[in-house]
Structures are given as structure tokens and as C-alpha cells.
């Protein structure tokens, strides 16, 4: 599993998204606000995570809510822990 997870998780933005979703399911707008990034940018990253079956989405009214896929949750966290932290940009 780690071979599949690691390439998609090399993006620091995706790592941050997964970290937020690890805490609780959230919508793209909530994630964008928390990370200080645009909602379309976050949606593109969520689509990549979803295509690798790392997150799932469901509709709540007119809103999409994303959460970590149940089965690979431990593998995701293991993959994240093996990556070196990205340098902090200021």
C-alpha cells in the first residue's frame, strides 16, 4: 500500500489536507479556509486523493463533505510519518 500512497502524498498541500481530514470530515471550503488556499485549488487536490481511494465524499444537502477512506487510514498516517517535513515558507 505504501508504494501507492507515497507518490500522491508527496505534495505538502495534500499532507495538510489529510491531516485536517484525520481530525474530522470537512468540505472543500472549510479546508481552504483552514489552509489559507483557494477552494478550486483544494478541490483539485481532493480529486487526486479521491482517485487514489484515500478519501471519500458524500453530499450533505448542496455541500460535499470529504473524509479519509476507512481502510487505508493507518497506511496514510504511516506514509506521512516517513516523509521529511517540507521547509516552512514565509
Determine contact, residues 17/42, Cβ cutoff 8 Å: yes
> Could you report the per-residue pLDDT of 44-64, keeping only the tens digit for each?
999 999 998 889 999 999 999
Beta bridge partners of 63: 60
Mean pLDDT of the chain: 82
Answer whether 0.85 is exceeded by the pTM: no
> Which domains can be identified in the chain, with CATH numbers?
2-82 (1.10.10.10)
Amino acid at each position: 500500500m505504501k508504494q501507492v500512497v507515497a507518490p500522491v502524498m508527496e505534495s505538502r498541500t495534500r499532507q495538510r489536507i489529510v491531516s485536517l481530514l484525520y481530525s474530522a470530515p470537512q468540505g472543500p471550503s472549510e479546508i481552504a479556509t483552514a489552509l489559507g488556499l483557494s477552494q478550486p485549488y483544494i478541490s483539485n487536490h481532493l480529486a487526486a486523493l479521491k482517485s487514489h481511494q484515500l478519501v471519500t465524499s458524500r453530499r450533505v444537502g448542496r455541500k460535499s463533505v470529504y473524509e479519509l477512506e476507512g481502510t487505508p487510514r493507518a497506511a496514510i498516517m504511516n506514509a506521512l510519518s516517513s516523509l521529511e517535513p517540507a521547509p516552512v515558507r514565509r
